[in-house]
Each structure stands twice: as C-alpha cells, then as structure tokens.
Chains A and B, each alone.
Chain A
Amino acid sequence: MEFIYYFENVFQPMSFLLLLVGTIGGLILGATPGLSPTMAVALLIPFTFHLEAAQGLILLGAAYTSTVAGGAVSAILLKIPGAPANIATTLDGHTMAKKGKGARALQLSFLASAVGGVFGVLLLIFLTPVLAKWALAFGPSHLFWLAIIGVTIIGSLDSASVVKGLLSGCIGLWLATIGFDDIMGAQRFIFHPALGGGINIIAALIGLFAIPQVLSMFAEGRKDANVEVIEVEKSSLANAIRELFSHTRALSIGTVTGSVIGLIPGVGGQIAGLVAYDQSRKFSPEREKFGTGHSEGVIAAESANNAMVGPSLVPLLTLSIPGSPTAAVLLGGLLIHGIFPGTDLFDNHPDVAWTFINSMLIGQILMCMFGLYIAGLAARVAQVPKSIMAAIVLGLAVFGSYSVQSSMGDVYVMATLGIMMYFLERFGFSAAPLVLGLILGPIAEANFIQGSMIANATDGMGAYFLGGNMNIFLIAIVVASIGYSVGMELRERTRNSTAGEAS
C-alpha cells in the first residue's frame, strides 16, 4: 500500500495543473483524426525535459490516457476513429449518434472508459511491485534477452510483415550504436558531425512519429475536412450512469478483456476494443442489436481500450519492455531523466513511480469529468483542416527537437529519420519496432558486454547466454512470438489466396 503515501504529490499545484493540461489537451488531440496518441505523447516529450521527472511523467501519462478516450468523440460524432483503439466504438457509437443519442453515447463512452481505466490502473498498482521484485533476480544475460524480447515482440506482432517488423527493429538497434562507444571510446558510424553525440532519443521519437503524419497529410493534397458533425443534444448524466450499470456484463467483459490484453506486450488498444466488442456480442442475449446503435457495444469497446492503458505499462515499469508504441515513448520520457524502469525505479525513485501511477488514477476521473463537457468542442477541433494540422505539427517538431539540447543537429536527425520513416512505411516497415530498437539498443548492448565479460571469466558465451532456465524461457518467448506471427501471416495469405480463387 506504499502508493497511498504519494497521493498528495499529485495534488501539488504544478503537478495538478500539468495533469489538467495533459487531460484536456489529450482529449482534444485524441479527438483529432490523423493525430495518433503516440505522436501526441512524442510531441510532449520535449516539454517534460524542462520539468521534474514525476511532473513530466504526469503530463505524458495524462495525455496517453485521455487521447485514447478522446478518440471516441470523433468515432461517435464523425464516424472517424481518433485512434485505432476506437475503431470498435464507431460500430455502435456513430449509429447511436445518428439516432439522436450522441450525448448518451458520449456519456457511456467516457463513463465506461473511466471504469475500465481505473480497473486497469489498479492492476498496474498491485502488479508492478511484485514483478519488479521478481526482476531483481535478473542478471545481464536475462536483461539482454528482455531487451531483445521488447524488439521482437513489437516487431513481429505489431507489424503487417514479420520480416519487415524485425528488420525495422534491427535498423533501430543499429541506429542506437551510432556515436561514441561507452567502454572503448571508439567512434562508430559517425558519418556526419551531427551524429557525434549519437542519436538523441527525443529527436528520433518526434521525427519517427510526427513527420510521417505531416507528409501523409501533404500527400492528401488540398482536401477539405468535409465531415459532418452530429450535434450533441442534452442528456441526463444520472440516467447514463444507470444505463451503464444496467449493462454490467458488457462493462465487465470490456474491462477484463482490455486489462488482460494490455498485459501482453505488442497487442494494442485496437485489438482490445475489437475483442471486447466481439465477446460482448457473443455473450449478450440481445446480440442482434449490436451494430444498430446498441449501448453495450460502446460500453464494451471503450471500457476495454482504456482498461488496457494501465496494464500496458506493467511490462514497461518492471522489465523495461514497452507494451505499445506509446509506452515506448513513455520509456523515452523516463530515460531522459536518467531513470531506468524495474528495481531502479521502485527502489531509488519511488516518489516518481508512485506519483506517476497515482496521477493516472486521478487522471481517469478527470478524463471522465472533462470528457463529458468538452466533447462538443473536441468534435469541432476535429474539423480543423489538415493543412493547419500539418503546419502546426511540423513547427512543433522543429522547436521541440531543438529545445532539448539547443542543437541544430537534433533537428536534422529528427527530419532525416522522419522523412526516411515516411517512405519506409509506404513499403510495410513500421516505426514502433524501430523506436523500440533505438531505445532498448543501449540496454541490450550494455548487458551484452557485461554478460560477455562474465561469460569469458566463467563458462563461456554459449553457456552463459543460452543456458539456465530463465534464459531458455526468455528465448522461448522470442521464438514463440516470431513463430506465432509467421503462422498468422501464412494463414492470412492462404485465406486471401483462397478468397481470390473463389472470386
């Protein structure tokens, strides 16, 4: 119950102000189609550099939570999911809005998000210390394999092509080696003076997540936002609360499904929402109503995608394995303050860890309160033309990447990586494993070097890195995640070719 002692930190004026800014800003950004939660959090990282570690994480955590929930606004009122996590919400949410129940759909969405989100954060509170203690027993070889797991899981599960996902991870691991070697002091791959100090993680995160979206907006040309916003009518909140708790089945299925899926690294909110929606439909006596504007569909999808937020941070805060691209960006936010997840975080910086986690709990409630009131405004923001959005994001990306070290080199790195990523994405490569490689590369290398020194003094490399139950277990996870993804890809290909032949 250590976390209770740190609640007061969240209510300190500056921390609470940042929580409010992150929540309200996140709701509006989340409602804006084309601006992903990952990009929103990446653009906020430079600001956290100028704050204390806990305050920075409060801002990022609040933005993460509320962008996922804010995405429901555009899903319901515009039929455009603000983020992939809100795809399932569109199915019934928008139909409800078209039937004149837009306000009720929004109320149910934010209330369900809050219930799911609180449950997910409670899971985070009670699971992380246990897992962090378990991680104490890990040696360099285990930490090396954990870093590799982080890259391979996201590389294989989060990418459309396993080989390209893993290749993206390798590119990220290579980029992480650019600069001066920590042990020998040797120059590695410094082919431009801007790379002398290595690749700055914040500049890379901004470039890899923001610039491809800017270029995608340019590629659409002079396209009018041209979306019809359904007006939100007045609706009783008390009735919405009553309706939410009259659908406890959907709420429970969504919350539990989202929490379990959140714990699995690499499986995002999109899957959580869709699986919860599907399971609720299967177990519902009114399953024929799903897709026709049924409130259970909204409740299941939204409780799931927010329940997933807390548990997705469990592998990050305990084992340094980010469960999602946004969690990877949060890891970047921790590392820039010199804080490493795992035992270091809970033993040496308990104030940072618990203040951050507690703020996410309070953030869920604030998100629900503000979400209900600013939904209409957020939907209007979603109509802002993409030309304005692209120019704003580009300006923020340049200022943000420069502000961290006052270095033009970081701006060049940000732009080069971003443009490169835009073209790579067109050919099936993915930013998430590349970022993971970049962030986890130094952890993997440091533990590999340390482990190889121990191995040379003891049983040799093979026995040290491949022997022992824990190493075998971790290697099995790497192999299983790749094997599972290859199997799924082959199954999908067979299904597509069968469908092609049939047509």
Chain B
Amino acid sequence: MNLNRVQHSVSSGVVALIGLWVCWVSFTQQPSEAFLFPRMISTVFVLLALWTFAKAVLGWSKVGTGIYAKHFTNMLPGLLIALIYVFWAAKGLGFYTSTSMAFFILLSLYDPASHTEIRTWVKRLIITAVFMVVMYGLFAKLLKVYTPREIFF
C-alpha cells in the first residue's frame, strides 16, 4: 500500500468513525423526537462515509493530493504556534499580548528575508507594531470589543 493510499484510508476512516458515532448517538439518545432529523442525516452520512472509506482502502480514491512530507514539516511550526496562541495564550496572556507575540514569531519564522541582518528584524518589529495598533483601533476603540485581561496591563 503506497503512502497516498494509506493517507486516504486514514482520513476517510476517521470521517467514517465520526459518522458511525453520530449515527449511534442519533439512534440511541432520547427523546427520539429531538433526534429525528439527526437520524436521517446520519444515515446518509454513514453510508457515504463508508463508501468513501471502502474506495480509499481499495485504492480508488483519486481526488485530493494528500499531505506531502515537505509541506507538513513546513507547516508544523506555524500550526503549533497557532495552536498555542488560540488554545492557551489568547486567554492566558491576553489577546493583544499574545497576538503581538504570535504575529512576530510567525512573521520571523516564515519571512524569506534575511535572519542575520538587524534591519530586517527592525522591519518585522515595525510591521508587528503597526498591525497591533490597527487591531487595537479597530476592535477596542471602534467596535468596543472587551477582550480577556492582559497579563502586562
């Protein structure tokens, strides 16, 4: 079994498992009237999901490029920073503090410009500062959105 086939089988397998879980919950939970519509959808959901899974296992899945190792390794640091930012830092450190940190780290990580020149680091800092001023003006001042308390102020 080649890697692409394994990837398709795993992804469609996960979708099929979710479908089976949705179907099981829909047909076992009460009151049954509340699950009338979910039962109908989940039946179609599980049939299509199992069909997709069977096709993937048999190697008939033609649509979708799968995930290339190079793309995944490129994406992984950004994904991890985004996960820490969204699921911990935004609430733990405050929106503006965490956003400025995540923005600067992501910018530095993926910027094709030189990482040894002071000039490019200053440029990144300026871009981060400008972005944060715009976000603060837009959300705090214009839309009056109250965000979680900041750790530093």
| A interface, CB within 8 angstroms of B | 47, 50, 160-161, 163-164, 166-167, 170-171, 173-174, 177, 181, 183-184, 186, 188-189, 214-215, 217-224, 385-388, 390-392, 394-396, 398-399, 402-403, 406, 408, 411-412, 415, 419, 423-429, 444-445, 448-449, 452, 493
Contact = CB atoms under 8 A, between A and B. Distances in A.
Given A171-B45, A390-B106, A408 B148 contact: yes
Ordered nearest first, which 7 A-B pairs have the shortest CB separation? A428-B64, A428-B63, A218-B78, A387-B110, A221-B74, A186-B34, A219-B71
A403 B143 contact: yes
B107 A408 contact: no
B79 interface: yes
Contacts of A50: 143
A222 to B, nearest CB: 5
A394 B22 contact: no
A184 B33 contact: yes
Contacts of B86: 398, 411-412, 415
Interface of B: 7-8, 11-12, 15, 18-19, 22, 25, 29-31, 33-38, 40-42, 44-45, 48-49, 51-52, 55, 61-67, 70-72, 74-75, 77-79, 82-83, 85-87, 90-91, 95, 99, 102-103, 106-107, 109-113, 127, 131, 135, 138-139, 143, 145-148
A103 B147 CA distance: 46
A387 B109 contact: yes
Given A174-B42, A186-B34, A427 B12 contact: yes
Nearest to A223: B112
A405 to B, nearest CB: 10
B34 A395 contact: no
A426 B66 contact: yes
Contacts of B109: 387
11 contacts: A164-B64, A167-B52, A174-B41, A174-B45, A215-B79, A218-B78, A385-B110, A387-B112, A395-B103, A426-B67, A427-B63
Contact of B67 (A218, A223, A423): A423
A166 B37 contact: no
A174 B38 contact: yes
A423 B131 contact: no
B42 A395 contact: no
Contacts of B146: 406
Contacts of B139: 399, 403
A395 B102 contact: yes
Contacts of B111: 222, 385, 387-388
Given A406-B145, A428-B63, A188 B103 contact: no
Given A160-B64, A173-B41, 20 more contacts: A167-B52, A174-B22, A174-B41, A188-B29, A218-B110, A221-B70, A385-B113, A387-B111, A391-B107, A398-B99, A399-B138, A399-B147, A402-B90, A406-B147, A408-B90, A424-B15, A426-B11, A427-B61, A445-B37, A449-B37
A164 B53 CA distance: 11
Given A174-B41, A218-B78, A184 B147 contact: no
Contact of A189 (B25, B55, B102): B25
Contact of B36 (A415, A419, A426, A452): A452
A217 B112 CA distance: 13
B42 to A, nearest CB: 7
A170 B85 CA distance: 31
B60 to A, nearest CB: 10
A406 B110 CA distance: 30
Nearest to B64: A428
Contacts of B18: 171
B49 A167 contact: yes
Given A403-B143, A408-B90, A166 B48 contact: yes
A223 B70 CA distance: 13
B87 to A, nearest CB: 7
